[in-house]
Amino acid sequence: MATEATHADANLILKLYELRRDEKLRAARDWFATEFFPTSMEDFKPVQAPGSKENTYFRMVTSYWDMAASFVESGVLNADLFLKSGGEMLFVWAKMGDFVPQMRQATGHPDYLANIERVIASVPGAADRVASTKKFIAQMRENLAKSAKS
């Protein structure tokens, strides 16, 4: 049975939101949302180059959301409230989830982004939201490609 959200949960969510406003994290999130559209493992090569802007941004976004999901996984933050208060972690998983098994195997890190994966698997409706977010991302990629051509 799910526990009721508390004021402490709300305060932690507000703190997580405040952290997302950091200038560098905001730039990383913007890059991830508008420039990074992986369709194969080949698309991950730029983010694997140590010291590159893409590597830094990729690590900032993915580690931020895995950290936030770890709060839910540890029972520190109410899962339902966490997912109701924002969908960006679902957006990240919608872009990354299909590639995570291959990334885990390639890097030898079997728990890579496991907190995000477990939160999505455990919250009713989260997987459906990821599926609809994938459709949104496909449309977004198409719109950005059309804009770039004009």
**Angle between helical axes of 53-73 and 7-20 (0-180°, round to 10):** 180
Does the global pTM surpass 0.75?
yes
pLDDT at residue 144, as a whole number: 87
Counting other chains too, the contacts that 97-105 makes at CB distance below 8 Å and 24 or more residues apart are 97/130, 99/38, 99/41, 99/44, 102/41, 103/41, 103/44
User: In the Cβ-directed half-sphere of 146, how many Cα atoms lie within 13 Å?
Assistant: 6
Q: What is the pLDDT of residues 16-27, one digit of tens each?
A: 999 999 999 999
pLDDT at residue 2, as a whole number: 58
Q: What is the pLDDT of residues 43-87, one digit of tens each?
A: 998 898 899 999 999 999 999 999 999 999 999 999 999 999 989
- Report the phi/psi class of residue 133: left, alpha or beta, with left for phi > 0 and alpha for psi in -120 to 50: alpha
